Amino acid sequence: MTRERGRGRGAGAGAEGAPGRRLWTIRLVCGDAPAAAWQEALGLIAQSVARFEVQPAAGPGPRSWRIEAICDRAPVAREVAGLLAETAGMALEELPEIAIETLEDRDWLALNRRQFPPVRAGRFFIHGTHFEGIPPPGALAICLDAGPAFGSGSHESTRGALMAIDRCVGAGTYGRVLDLGCGSGILALALAVSTGAAVLASDREATAVENTKFNAAANGLGSRIEACLADGLSARVRARAPFDLVAANILAEPLIAMAADLGEVVEPGGMAILSGLIAPQEHDVLAAYHGAGFMHRSTLVLGQWSTLTVERGSGT
């Protein structure tokens, strides 16, 4: 299982894997309980994160995972340990051994792209520029290469969001659409090709905004997707409200924190797709959105990851 961070070959891509560029790895082995959450957490500081099941040496036993992350900045050991401890609610001394090493010079992102197979999520067919086949009949094809900004379609949280978008669009018509925390822009691309609407895509990271703009242009959607630098539901995003469809593939904590704000920018009867949370977090996220005037419409579970679809009530 690999959490990839996806983007097109936009600004600065020529430097990726160039001679002299240093990369670092973070490696650890852990049990089943924290594996998915740690993979997600490391995705916040790494360019790519992979999780592999470790086969027991002597017959059946507790499942364990090897997690490997690649970073373009030297990780600080105490910060990595603090991130993992906070994510799992563990003390530092309870953490497994964390190895941080410098990598040899290689074009790791080029290797990543070659190993990035097409992904099918509902009607969406996500493929890289290296794909030479023909998309399935009736598919909504999106071209996007794996790279530094999260969202290539392979991670369960992204696939769940894509599938939820497909279901929403199949049941309604939308004209004011927001991708909140756009990353590579994959959800914005999916929203644009499936709804025909203009889409606002926002992110707090300038690299993500640049990647989204590039990927939109590469898919012929540059005139339909406006990518902007914004931290959450800032004034720039609010100026475009109300929205009738919002997709947010982030994490449970920020989803909960912004529930009331989303209630202010989603119009009555509008839908919000919430992804980036694991199953045990569903209750807290839904409680926050119920308190903000939303009604739970559906839950989609892929592996340990849940995608929630909620509708803003007409009486709020």
Distance of alpha carbon 52 from alpha carbon 66, whole angstroms: 5
Distance of alpha carbon 251 from alpha carbon 305, whole angstroms: 11
Distance of alpha carbon 34 from alpha carbon 64, whole angstroms: 10
**Tens-digit pLDDT profile for residues 75-122:** 999 999 999 999 999 999 999 999 999 876 666 556 555 556 788 999
| Predicted confidence band of residue 19 (pLDDT cuts 50, 70, 90) | very low
**Tens-digit pLDDT profile for residues 163-184:** 999 999 988 899 999 999 998 8
What type of residue sits at position 92? Answer: L
Q: Report which of 200, 210, 119, 197 is spatially closest to residue 161, judged by C-alpha positions.
A: 119
In the chain, the domains with their CATH numbers are: 22-104 (3.30.70.120), 151-312 (3.40.50.150)
**Tens-digit pLDDT profile for residues 264-300:** 999 999 999 999 998 899 999 999 999 999 999 999 9
Distance of alpha carbon 198 from alpha carbon 196, whole angstroms: 7
Distance of alpha carbon 263 from alpha carbon 94, whole angstroms: 39
Distance of alpha carbon 114 from alpha carbon 247, whole angstroms: 29
Sheet holding 294-302, edge to edge: 225-229, 198-203, 176-180, 243-249, 266-278, 305-312, 294-302
Judge whether residue 221 has pLDDT over 80: yes
Pairing between β-strand 305-312 and β-strand 294-302 as defined by DSSP bridges: antiparallel
Q: What is the mean pLDDT of the chain?
A: 85
